Amino acid sequence: MKYVNIDHLNKAITENPREVINNSEENYYNQLNNMCCKIYQKRDIHPVVLISGPSGSGKTSTANEMSEILNKNYHCKSNVISLDNYFRSNTSPDMPKDKNGNIDLESPLCTDLKLLQEHLFLMNKGEEFMMPVFDFKSQSRSGYVSFKRQPETVVIMEGIHALNPLVTGENNFAVCVYISVRTRLKDRDNKILHPRIIRLMRRLCRDSLFRGRSLKSVFDYYESVTEGEDKYIYPFKHRADFLIDTFMSYEVSVYKSLLQKELFQAKQNFYGNHYYNDIMDFFNILLPISEKEVPSDSLIREFIG
C-alpha cells in the first residue's frame, strides 16, 4: 500500500508545483500505457475490456484515455461504451429497493441483465445489435442505436458493476480492469486520509459544480454509495486482470482551492460528520493548488470541469 507524506508533498509544491503535477500525470499515463500494450496483444481472443471501480474512481476518463492510447500508440481502434446505457427505467417492475424503501440505485439489479449479456455475446462475435440509450433526465430508456464491433477493434465498457458476474456474466473473452484511488495521504502524526474520502471530494466537486446538488446532499447520499460499494463492487475486485491507481498526488490541493471556503461556511450542517472532519483537517495542513494548473486532459477534469 502506497502513502504520500503531507510534509514532503507541501515541500514539493512549494519548490516546483508543475513538477508535482507532471509526475502525477505521468505515473497515471504509464500505468495505462503498460496495460494497453497487453490489451492490444490479446485483442484477438479478448476483444472486450470491462472497467469497474467505485464511484469517483475516474472510470469514464480512464476508458477514454485508454481509447486514445490504443489509437495513438498501437494504431488500434476502439469503442467506449457506458454500462449506464443498460439501466432499467425507474418505472420498471421489480426495481430493487433500499432499506428506506427507495429505489436502490447502487444495486446491479437496476441493470437490464439479460439484454446486456446478450449484447456482450454478440459484441464478442462481431455481430450487429441495437444498443439502448439511457436518458438520465427522464431516468428512462430513450431509444436505441445500431452497434457492431469491427474486426481488430477493442470495445471498452465501463461501469460500477462491470466485474460482477451477475451483470456481465462468466465470460472468457473480456479483460477485466479495476480502478480506484489506492494511495493514501498521511500527515506527520500518521493520520491517514482514506481513498474513499478522496473519491468523496471528487464527487463534491463534480456534483456541486455541474449537477446542481448541494454539498450536504452529496454527503447525505454518500452513505448509500459506500454501502453499495461494500455489497456490490469490492467483492469482485479479485476478478481484475489489472489494478489501476487513479490517485494524483496534487489533487487534494486542487479540491482545497475549490471546496474549503464553501465547506467552512456550511460547517453547521456537518456537526459530527467524520468525512467532513477528515476533509477539513487535511485541507488545513495541505497547500492549495489552483484548478487553473490542472492539465486540460487530466483525469481530474472529469470532476472539476
Query: Span 77-86, mean pLDDT?
Result: 97
Mean pLDDT of the chain: 95
* pLDDT above 90 (res 24): yes
Residue 30, exposed/middle/buried by CB under 10 A (0-12, 13-18, 19+)? exposed
Cβ atoms of 126 and 148 closer than 8 Å: yes
Q: Which one-letter DSSP state was computed for residue 103?
A: B
| Model pLDDT for residues 220-264, shown as the tens digit of each residue | 989 889 999 999 999 999 999 999 999 999 999 999 999 999 999
Question: Which of 19-28, 222-231, 263-272 has maximum average pLDDT?
Answer: 19-28
Residue 175: CB atoms within 10 Å: 21
Let me know the angle formed at the C-alpha of 28 by 45 and 166, rounded to the nearest 5 degrees: 45
How confident is the model at residue 176, as a pLDDT? Answer: 98
Alpha-carbon span 48 to 81, nearest angstrom: 11
Mean pLDDT, range 86-100, rounded to an integer: 90
Ordered by where they begin, the domains of the chain are: 3-304 (3.40.50.300)
- Contact assessment for residue 88 and residue 111, using Cβ atoms and an 8 Å cutoff: yes
What is the layout of strands, in order, in the sheet containing 154-158?
78-82, 154-158, 48-52, 174-180, 242-245
pLDDT value of residue 275: 96
DSSP state letter for 205: H
The kind and range of the H/E element at 143 are: strand 140-147
Once rounded to an integer, what is the mean pLDDT over residues 117-146? 95
| Distances from the Cα of 91 to the Cα of 87, 88, 94, 184, angstroms | 11, 8, 9, 40
CB 204 within 8 A of CB 259: yes
Task: Name every residue whose Cβ is closer than 8 Å to that of residue 177 and which is 6 or more positions away in sequence.
Answer: 35, 49, 50, 51, 52, 240, 241, 242, 243, 244
Q: Which residues of 188-201 are buried (b: 16+ CB within 10 A; e: fewer)?
A: eeeeebebbbbbbb
Q: Are 54 and 233 in contact (CB under 8 A)?
A: yes
Cell of 160: 460500477
Element (H, E) at 209: helix 195-210
Length of the chain: 305
Predicted local confidence at residue 99, as pLDDT: 84
The residue type of 190 is: N
Query: In sequence order, which ranges of 42-182 are alpha helices (DSSP H)?
Result: 59-74, 113-125, 165-168
Write down the pTM of the prediction.
0.94
Q: What is the dihedral of CA 289, 291, 294, 300, to 10 degrees?
A: 110
pLDDT digits (tens, 9 = 90+) for 39-72: 999 999 999 999 999 999 999 999 999 999 999 9
Return phi, psi of residue 146, to 5°. Answer: -75, 140
